[in-house]
Amino acid sequence: MEERGEEAPNMIEFYKETHWSSKKGKFINAASEHNYNLMLERLNEKETEEDVQEAAGDVFKEVMGFKSGYAQGLGHSVIPEPSPFLKKNKAFKRIVEENERNKESADLYKSKLEALLGDMAEL
């Protein structure tokens, strides 16, 4: 796809492009075809009001599942979302809350720094 200068419109189409054999004119194996068809069925069940890109991404994750430390279908260069098990973990929730508090503190200090730099520029 990259060689042709094209991009798949969503994750489901990306899956099809990467699991389709042009020489054979079909999917590389039955499991790939089953997964693709399952993704299409679940995408059609979703409400059409949603953003198609987002809905396709959600369906892709639902069908393909999670693999720790790896964003399925996206490679190792992308930081994956935490697995459902990790999201339920109390330690993870505590880290997320601490992270939010740290973001608030960082924003506060950023605004103070900007005000200070503004005052210095006036002098």
Q: What tens digit of pLDDT does each residue of 6-26 get?
A: 565 788 888 888 888 889 899
Predicted confidence (pLDDT) at residue 1 exceeds the cutoff of 50:
no
Angle at 103 between CA 101 and CA 107, to 5 degrees: 120
* Summary mean pLDDT of the chain: 79
What Cα–Cα distance (Å) separates residue 32 from each residue in 16, 27, 43, 51, 110? 8, 6, 16, 25, 49
Could you give the number of structural domains in the chain?
Answer: 2
Mean pLDDT of 58-66: 80
User: What is the pLDDT confidence band of residue 120, given thresholds at 50, 70 and 90?
Assistant: very high
Whether residue 67 is found in the same domain as residue 26: yes
Whether residue 2 is found in the same domain as residue 41: yes
Number of Cβ atoms within 10 Å of the Cβ of 56: 24
Whether residue 46 is found in the same domain as residue 72: yes
What Cα–Cα distance (Å) separates residue 50 from each residue in 29, 43, 47? 31, 11, 6
Whether residue 53 is found in the same domain as residue 105: no
The reported pLDDT for the residue numbered 72 is 61
Distance of CA 23 to the CA centre of its chain: 31
**Tokens, residue 62:** 């639902």
Whether residue 104 is found in the same domain as residue 76: no
Q: Locate tokens 């198609």: which residue?
A: 52
Predicted confidence (pLDDT) at residue 54 exceeds the cutoff of 90:
no
Mean pLDDT of 40-69: 77
The reported pLDDT for the residue numbered 90 is 78
- Listed in sequence order, the DSSP H helices in the chain are 11-19, 30-45, 52-64, 84-88, 90-122
Whether residue 31 is found in the same domain as residue 66: yes
The reported pLDDT for the residue numbered 92 is 77
The domain containing residue 2 runs over which residues?
1-81
The DSSP symbol for 71 reads B
The reported pLDDT for the residue numbered 67 is 63
Whether residue 14 is found in the same domain as residue 33: yes
Whether residue 49 is found in the same domain as residue 4: yes
Whether residue 119 is found in the same domain as residue 60: no
Whether residue 76 is found in the same domain as residue 95: no
Whether residue 15 is found in the same domain as residue 43: yes
